Structure 1
Amino acid sequence: MTYREKCDARMKRTQQRLDAALISTRFPEVSSIVVDMKQTRKGMVAFCLLRTLNFSSDSHAHFHVECLNKDCKDCTEGFDLEQVVAAMVRSHTFSREGELVCEGNGLTSGHVNITYNVTIQYNGNSEML
């Protein structure tokens, strides 16, 4: 990938994030969302990366996490937690754990897995169930 292609891809990702509605607009009952993730890859070059993503009500509702495996052929879009968050808000769930697995093919260094814990704080609720 050339430098120009990388810049174009980065600009596209930034624009997608900016095009997403604000959390206060999309989910007005939500005050904050915290996503704790552990990204792991096994294989010749194994790694484990811990990340925490914090979203406030004035953040963009863009819950996309890129796949860290650059050798991946089919997983160029990464992992999308949008459906997880939307389902939690619909059912008024405070916390959910799960795992997403890279479905890419042609990997030389192994699949990437994301283990996540999403915690949502709703407006007017200072305690979680």
Structure 2
Amino acid sequence: MAGVMRDSDLAGTGSRPARYWLVVNEEGDVMRPLTLDASGKEALPVFSFEEEAEMFLWRAGLEDGWHTRESGAEELRVLLQEGDGIGLVALDPLPEMISTSTVELVCVSAERFVERLRRRGRSPEGRGAS
């Protein structure tokens, strides 16, 4: 069903931990994730596959230290809970969504995303998923 987010979409399936991809800029020991403006709210773009993140990076014309980085559920939880005003998660956005102000169509609240990650980590089928 379109538009319905399942726990398995967020936290992997079975004993396979969920993996996500971010676009980041790392300067020394400091990782700065790319964020997008979604109708005045800060959104963290999160990608399901490395190729999607790389395509976003290339099509958005990001250079100067920006690259893709694999991330797990635990790291995302920490990032979103300490995220300096990140209120939304943009799931697999396209760069064109930024210029057309439609990125919020693929966003969920950071709280909802984190809660789904937590619930999935506690479910029997999610054992071992982080």
TM-score normalised to the size of structure 2? 0.26
**Which structure shows the higher strand fraction?**
1
- TM-score between both structures, scaled by the size of structure 1: 0.26
